[in-house]
Structure 1
Amino acid sequence: MEEVQAAPAVQMATPPAAAALAAPPSGLVKFAKDSFAGTVGGIAVTLVGHPFDTVKVRLQTQSMAKPIYGGAIDCFKKTLQWEGVPGLYKGVSSPLAGQMFFRATLFSAFGGSKRWLGTNSDGTTRPLTTADFYKAGFITGAVAAFAESPIDFYKSQIQVQMVRAKSDPAYKAPYTSVVDCVKATLRTSGARGPFQGLSATLLRNAPANSVYLGSFEVIKRQAATHYGCEMKDLPAPVVMAAGGTGGILYWLAIFPVDVIKSAMMTDSITPAERRYPSIPATARALWAEGGVSRFYRGFSPCLMRAVPANAVMLFTVDKVTHLLTDH
C-alpha cells in the first residue's frame, strides 16, 4: 500500500485590518511608554526636590530692602520653625497634580524629537549625532513650556505667601490652597490667567533643556563607549551622575532668566497691579533693585537641588523606559 502523506497545513494570513486592530500603532505605544516613564520620574523629582524649590523661590522673591532670610540655610531653618515640614512642601499639589501632563509632554516630546531627527527623508533611520541630542532638547523645552508654565505659576503663588506675610504684618494671604488660586486667576483673567510668566518660561526652557537633556544623552553615550556596553546597561551611579551633571548645566545656563520668571509668576494676578508685566520691564526693575547680584538670588539652593533631584528623576525615567521597551 502506498503511504498516504498528510496534506500540509494551510497557513492563514492575518488580514491587514485585523492585524491593525490587534496591535496599537507603534507611535501610540512609544508615546504611552514615554509618558508613563516621565510621570514616574516627575513624581520622584517633586518629592525629592520640592523643599529646595520652595527655598529658591522664597529667596528669589523676598525684598532686597527688608530681607526675611539671610541665605539658603536660614530660609530652610525659618521655614521649619514657622511652618514645620509642610512649609517646605507649600504648593506641592500643583506640581504633583500636573506631573502626569507635564512629564508626559516633556519626555514624549523628547522621545518624538529624537525619533524625528533620526529619520531620513526616505523613512530610514540613522544614528543621532551629538548635535541632534541638543536639538531634541531645545524642541522639547519649547513644547513643554506650555505644560510647565501653569504648574509653576500656581506653585509660586502659594510658595511666596509666607515671604509677604513676614515682610508686611498687615498682609493677608489671598489663597488658602492651590484650588483657591486657580479659581481666583480664572475669575480675574480667564484662560490666560494660568499662563502669567509664559514668555519667561519659554525663554528659559528651550535653551535650558537643550543643555540639560542633550548633555544627559551625550554623557551616557560616552560612558557606554567607555564601558563597552549599551546605554541601557550602564551602572546606576553612572546614569545618576549624568542626570546630576545635566541638572547643574541646566541652571548654570539660564538662572537669571529663572529669577525673571519667578518675579513675573509671583506678581499680582490683576494685570493693572503688576510690577513685572513683561520680560524687559522685569529685567530693568530687578537690575534697579540690586544689579547683577539680584539675578542670582536663590542660586545656592538651586544648585543643591540640581544634583539629587535630577539624578533621581532622569535615572528613574531612563530605567522605566528601558524596562517598558524590553518587555
Structure 2
Amino acid sequence: MEEVQPSAVQMPAPSLSAAPAAAAAQASSGFVKFLKDSFAGTVGGVAVTLVGHPFDTVKVRLQTQPTTNPIYSGAIDCVRKTLQWEGIGGLYKGVTSPLAGQMFFRATLFSAFGASKRWLATNPDGTTRALTTADYFKAGFITGAAAAFTESPIDFYKSQIQVQMVRAKADPAYKPPYTSVSECVRATLRTSGVKGPFQGLSATLLRNAPANAVYLGSFEVLKGRAASHYGCETKDLSAAVVMAAGGTGGILYWLAIFPVDVIKSAMMTDSIDPSQRRYPSIPAAARALWAEGGVSRFYRGFSPCLMRAAPANAVMLFTVDKVTHLLNE
C-alpha cells in the first residue's frame, strides 16, 4: 500500500484571508483600548479640575505676583483676598480652559501611558512580557513628553486669566486685555498665529517628561507593591489604597520639578506680544527669577501646590483606575 505523507493530511494550506483578518482584529482591539483609556482619562481629568483648580489658582498667583510690594503674604492670605475681592468664582478663574481641554489632554495622557506600557511589554518577536519597575517610569516619561503638546495650550490660557487680578492690584491703571478664555484665544491668534497657544511649551516639556515618569511610575509601582502585600490583583485594591498611591504620586510629581513649574508659569503669564516679553526662553526666565530672589523665588506657591497634590491626584488616579477596570470587565 502506498504510504501517505503526514503533511498531506495534517497541514492544510493557510487561508489567504487569515493574516489581514488578524491584523484588522488587532487594529480594532488597539482602537478600543485607546477609546477606553481616553474616556477614563477624561472622567479623571474633570474630577481633578473640580477638586484642584482653586489650589492651582492660588499657586499661579503666588508664583507670579510682584517681588516688591507683593499682593499676598501667603497661601491663606491669597485665598482670603480672592474670596473677598472676587467671591468663590475667583478661585475658579480660567477653569473653562482646563475643563474644555480635558478631553484632549487626559485622552492624550492616559492613552499614551497605556500605549507606552503595551509597547514596552512587547518583545521584538511579538510576544509579551511582564513590565519591570523601570518600564513604568519609562512609560511615564514618554507619556509626559507626548501630553505636553496638549497640556501646554490649556495651561497657557488658564494662567493668562488667573493672573489678571494680581496685575490689577499691583497697578491700579491696569486694564485687562481680555476678560475671558475665548477673548484670550482670539487675541493670541491675532498676535502670534498658531504659535500663540504654545507660549511656554519648552518649559512644559522640561517639566512634564521627568515629572510624569515619577508620577505615573510611582503610582503603578506602589499599586503593585500593595497588591503583593495584600495578596490580590491591583483591580481589587481598596479605594483608600489606590487613592494613597495616587496622592503619593502627585506629591512626588511636584517635589521633583517645582522650580521648573515656576519658570513655566512666568513664561506663560508673560506678554502675548513677543516683543514685550521679559521671559522669552527658559534660560532668560531662570536668570530673571534668580535675580528677583535667589533659590526662594523658585518655590513661591509651593505650599498650596503640595496641599493640592495629594487630594486632587488621589481623586483623579482613583477615578481613572476604577473607570478603566469597569470598562475592561
| Superposition CA RMSD, Å | 1.5
Which residue number corresponds to residue 49 of structure 1?
52
State the alpha-carbon separation in 2 of the partners of residues 125 and 271 from structure 1. 49
Per the TM alignment, residue 32 of structure 1 is displaced from its structure 2 partner at its CA by 0.2
**Which of 137, 157, 165 is the aligned partner of 1:134?**
137
Which residue number corresponds to residue 188 of structure 1?
191
Structure 1 ranges of 4+ moved more than 6 A: 15-24
Q: Compute the TM-score of the two structures, normalised by the length of structure 1.
A: 0.93
Per the TM alignment, residue 111 of structure 1 is displaced from its structure 2 partner at its CA by 0.2
State the alpha-carbon separation in 1 of the partners of residues 24 and 279 from structure 2. 53
State the alpha-carbon separation in 1 of the partners of residues 232 and 135 from structure 2. 21
Matched, 1:106 2:101: no
Which residue number corresponds to residue 76 of structure 1?
79
Residues 89, 128 of structure 1: CA spacing in aligned structure 2 closer, same or farther, 3 A cutoff?
same
Q: Which amino acid aligns with 2:141?
A: F
State the alpha-carbon separation in 2 of the partners of residues 45 and 66 from structure 1. 33
Secondary structure, in 3 states, of the residue corresponding to 2:126? coil
Which residue number corresponds to residue 40 of structure 2?
37
State the alpha-carbon separation in 2 of the partners of residues 247 and 20 from structure 1. 38
**Which of 164, 169, 189 is the aligned partner of 1:166?**
169
Secondary structure, in 3 states, of the residue corresponding to 1:25? helix
Q: Which amino acid aligns with 1:54?
A: T
In terms of mean alpha carbon deviation, does 17-26 or 164-173 score higher? Answer: 17-26
State the alpha-carbon separation in 2 of the partners of residues 233 and 121 from structure 1. 32
Matched, 1:123 2:126: yes
Gaps of 5+ in 1: 1-12
**Which of 223, 241, 244 is the aligned partner of 2:244?**
241
Secondary structure, in 3 states, of the residue corresponding to 2:113? helix
Per the TM alignment, residue 22 of structure 1 is displaced from its structure 2 partner at its CA by 9.2
Aligned identity (percent) is 84
Matched, 1:305 2:308: yes
Which residue number corresponds to residue 28 of structure 1?
31
* Structure-to-structure mapping, 1:198-217, within 5 angstroms: 198-217=201-220
Matched, 1:218 2:210: no
Q: Which amino acid aligns with 2:236?
A: D
Per the TM alignment, residue 133 of structure 1 is displaced from its structure 2 partner at its CA by 0.2
State the alpha-carbon separation in 2 of the partners of residues 150 and 117 from structure 1. 29
Per the TM alignment, residue 18 of structure 1 is displaced from its structure 2 partner at its CA by 8.4
Which residue number corresponds to residue 94 of structure 2?
91
State the alpha-carbon separation in 1 of the partners of residues 61 and 262 from structure 2. 11
Q: Which amino acid aligns with 2:59?
A: K
Q: Compute the TM-score of the two structures, normalised by the length of structure 2.
A: 0.93
Q: Which amino acid aligns with 1:143?
A: A
Residues 227, 274 of structure 1: CA spacing in aligned structure 2 closer, same or farther, 3 A cutoff?
same
Which residue number corresponds to residue 146 of structure 1?
149
Which residue number corresponds to residue 314 of structure 1?
317
State the alpha-carbon separation in 2 of the partners of residues 212 and 59 from structure 1. 24
